[in-house]
Amino acid sequence: MTPLRWAFLGRVPYEDATTLQGYLVDLVRRGETGDTLLLLTHPPVITLGRGAHAENVVIPDDERTAAGIELHQAGRGGDVTYHGPGQLVGYPIVALRENRRDAHRYLRELEEGLIATAAAHGVTASRINGLTGIWVGDAKLAAIGVRIGTGWITSHGFALNVGRDLKGFEAIVPCGIRDRSVTSLALELDRDIAPEDVAEAAATAVAEALGYEAVWDDPALAALSRGALSSPPVPGDRP
């Protein structure tokens, strides 16, 4: 199977993660590096997808700033979402092969990988027809918003709620859906769990769903990031 290199980079500011994705997309497009899955967490941030509606950010700007929540436009599809420290964010940078160049198939594969990740931790999640992401009942467990650029190279990706604290979601209407709630692995399991505890299972499951074999490559990816960031993530032990 084709390897999908992955690393858990810890907490990375949203703008830095966007810069790093662009850098890796260019390397993949030029054939200078292989397909990659970045796993990380963000400081509190609201992101606006290409289909975002301003009214789905329900916190006033002054309160948002006082709460330390950044606001950024994102080049992904979808509406409004929130990222915070208790969330595992995944950015697959992969060149979709000719027989896999189907955006809807790619979204369903990401969902499949996230459903398997939840199952590996004892949580049963599923799809809801017509809605992107994965759910436990009517509560959203993971959001997905992707970009597929020139050469069918992907960026952006998914956000899996892991920790107990979901207060940040009160600042938005998640993905513009007003009649559903959000949940997390920790809430479903009724025990504490951190994003780094889930990283390897997520890498394995998402890679398999996309037709790859997950290969941990944290030191190399941290070294690559030095070409894009003035303060790159520090390589660490495998989660």
| Look-up of token digits 């994102």 | 74
- Active-site residue among 93, 96, 175, 209? 175
DSSP-derived letter for residue 56 is G
The most distant pair of C-alpha atoms in the chain lies apart, rounded to whole Å, by: 50
**Cβ atoms 146, 77 nearer than 8 A:** yes
Residue 143's Cβ-count burial label (10 Å; 0-12, 13-18, 19+) is buried
Q: Which two tokens stand for residue 160?
A: 């899996």
Distance, CA of 10 to CA of 29 (rounded, Å) = 26
Angle (nearest 5°) at CA 146 between 59 and 134 = 75
Tokens of 236: 């660490």
For residue 237, give every residue at least 6 positions away whose Cβ sits within 8 Å of its Cβ, in sequence order, or none: none
Shortest CA distance to 28 belongs to which of 192, 159, 155, 160? 155
State the Cα–Cα distance between residues 6 and 57, nearest whole angstrom. 32
Which tokens go with 13?
A: 């500011």
Residue 11 tokens, joined? 């907490």
* Known active-site residue 175: yes
Active centre residues (catalytic):
175
